[in-house]
Structure 1
């Protein structure tokens, strides 16, 4: 008796009936296994074809960006005093959100900062300002955490659906040593009936994980 490809072929006397039956059963099992493998392969191929057809027929869904709204922190006295010097005593401020600086926010050749787009920002701006933000270069005052005043452009970029500070933004970054990962708190106030802003640097996000009001907004 010899074994060949899992099928035993009996050579010799036919009196050993048990050996013959065993060989036949092994051959049957081998053929059954081959058929099952063929069916499994056909099912996989069919599923792949169906998935490809579904992918072609379904529209591509864009990933939505989510802005995390942070609770309002207490404004530093120095920043509040500078706002009153610029816009008048008792000037109201509006908490807009916090923003974690990304690598692109501090790049010199980009020279821009994306502002968290929140409901508070929309309410801070009037209808005319919202309509004109994507059409004209709107000059705005920005007061930083050291009380210095900057003349920046505040716009709405329709292509990326973002509000942005641009034009000399990188000068502020370089002068104040801003780095990616740092968190900025952003307020709005009005000066001569025009929207102006105040920003406060509060450190790296990793250092503020357990500090109230210091969570950042994930905005690309």
Structure 2
């Protein structure tokens, strides 16, 4: 619809208007308005069509992207040492899955903390059942943990407790507690050691295999300790390895500052 303000520029050109001239000018302005509206509508339709085509192309691309692991752009998981694989088979274990590689911090090996932390942001594959998840998420202190088997670096078996802790900045950790100090002492674990963790199942029971990177395997001696490291300061605390409490705080906050070469957390366009 042509409004009075639409005609202001035209009306300023003449002091006096004949009826016919006025009608012609109104028709001309109306025609220009209609053309502008059609042009704008066509541009809007073309833009919407382009966005739709880009969206469809992105979906097709993402559908064809292979994502074998839960977290994006990670290198393939390492192979489990043969001695651990045999140990798990002897136990009747199955469903072996790589969980995490991390550097041990002072708080992972100190007697006062008595726990191993595994930030959920660095977990490579989910390993809990729905029932275990409910227990871990429960606010009831009597049930919010899961008893699990632990195969130590020495290939000895122990039982520890798996719990889920919510930390500041909304980060979440899986932690292994109960008997963890004994595991540290028996295996000579210290701050700065790099460990890898695999999960497995013996029947319905959850288990973990803890492997220290760099331990030499003695294939001819099953069940014996294959890698107790000699440490200058004795067992356990490892305060001189340079890992420090700041790095542990970053890990507890869910950050990836730990930064081992085997796992790079790059973003992908497809999620």
TM range (shorter): 0.5 to 0.7
Is 1:151 aligned to 2:159, yes or no? yes
- Structure 1 position 78, deviation (Å): 0.9
- Alpha-carbon distance, 1:203 to partner: 4.0
Count of matched residue positions in the alignment of Structure 1 and Structure 2? 144
Check whether the contact 1:69–1:97 (CA below 8 A) recurs between aligned residues. no
1:192 alignment partner, one of 197, 203, 214: 203
Partner-residue secondary structure (3-state), 2:83: helix
Distance 1:216 1:104 in 2: 22
Structure 2 match to 1:142? 150
Gap change, CA 1:167 and 1:216, over 3 Å in 2: farther
Q: Say which of 75, 79, 92 aligns to 1:74.
A: 79
CA deviation string 1:127-151 (max 9, x = no partner): 2211211432311001022211110
Change (3 A) 1:133 1:217: farther
| Residues 175 and 162 (structure 1), Cα distance of their counterparts in 2 relative to 1, 3 Å cut | same
Q: Of 173, 180, 186, which aligns to 1:162?
A: 173
Q: Describe the SS at the equivalent of 1:78.
A: helix
Pick one of 76, 92, 97 that aligns with 1:87: 92
In the alignment, what sits opposite 1:126?
129
Shift of 1:152: 0.2
Distance 2:150 2:103 in 1: 17
Q: Which residue of 2 aligns with 1:104?
A: 107
1:125 Cα deviation (Å)?
A: 1.4
Q: TM-score, normalised by structure 2?
A: 0.47
- 2:100–2:123: 8 Å Cα contact kept in structure 1? no
Contact 1:93-1:187 within 8 A present in 2 as well = yes
| 3-state SS in 1 of match to 2:91 | helix
Question: What's the TM-score once normalised by structure 1's chain length?
Answer: 0.57
Larger of the two Rg values belongs to structure: 1
Q: 1:99, 1:217 within 8 Å by CA — same for their partners in 2?
A: no
**After TM superposition, where is structure 1 displaced by more than 6 Å over at least 4 residues in a row?**
none
Alignment gaps of 5+ in structure 1: 1-67, 207-212
Shift of residue 182 of structure 1? 0.6
Aligned position for 1:173: 184
Aligned partner of residue 93 in structure 1, secondary structure: strand
Greater strand proportion? 1
State whether residues 97 and 217 of structure 1, in contact with CA within 8 Å, keep that contact through their aligned partners in structure 2.
no
Deviations 1:33-86 (A, max 9, x none): xxxxxxxxxxxxxxxxxxxxxxxxxxxxxxxxxxx9564112111101111111
Give the unaligned 5+ runs of structure 2: 1-72, 139-143, 216-240, 243-259, 266-271
| TM-superposition CA deviations, 1:155-181 (whole Å, max 9, x none) | 111345211000110110011000111
User: CA contact under 8 A between 2:101 and 2:196: conserved in structure 1?
Assistant: yes
CA distance in 1, matches of 2:161, 2:128: 15
Q: Distance in 2 between matches of 1:141 and 1:71?
A: 25
